[in-house]
């Protein structure tokens, strides 16, 4: 439902983004943690590869970033074969 509402907001230029200093790595790790049960069920190995050059804090909207990562991961989990592998590269 949230995705439908967000799509409507984007089309009407009413999407609000609340950037704050955010630990990007923690948001990526949170997305992996939230999906850990689905990953276990399908025996999928997931790993995040984070560039050491990435600043510790980045100005962004953490809830929007998490939403994007969750959407991507849920699609990958849905369509990847059992015992697959997911690599998330961040630089």
* Domain positions in the chain: 18-90
- When pLDDT is cut at 50, 70 and 90, the band that residue 25 belongs to is very high
DSSP string, the chain: -HHHHHHHHHHTT------EEE-HHHHHHHHHHHTHHHHHHTT-EEEEEE-TTS-S-EEE-HHHHHHHHHHHHHHHHHHSPTT-EEEEEE-
Predicted confidence (pLDDT) per residue in 49-59, tens digit: 999 999 989 99
Predicted confidence (pLDDT) per residue in 64-86, tens digit: 899 889 999 999 999 988 888 99
Residue 62 has pLDDT above 60, yes or no: yes
pLDDT of residue 5: 46
The mean pLDDT value for 30-44 works out to 93
Q: Does domain 18-90 have CATH number 3.40.50.1820?
A: no
Residue 1 has pLDDT above 50, yes or no: no
Predicted confidence (pLDDT) per residue in 11-24, tens digit: 556 667 788 999 99
pLDDT of residue 82: 85
């Amino acid at each position: 439902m949230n995705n439908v509402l967000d799509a409507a907001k984007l089309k009407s230029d009413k999407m609000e983004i609340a950037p704050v200093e955010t630990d990007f790595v923690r948001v990526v790790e949170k997305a992996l943690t939230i999906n850990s049960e689905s990953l276990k069920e399908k025996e999928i190995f997931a790993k995040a590869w984070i560039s050491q050059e990435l600043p510790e804090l980045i100005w962004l909207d953490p809830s929007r970033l998490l939403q994007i990562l969750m959407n991507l991961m849920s699609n990958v989990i849905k369509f990847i074969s059992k015992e697959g592998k997911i690599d998330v590269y961040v630089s």
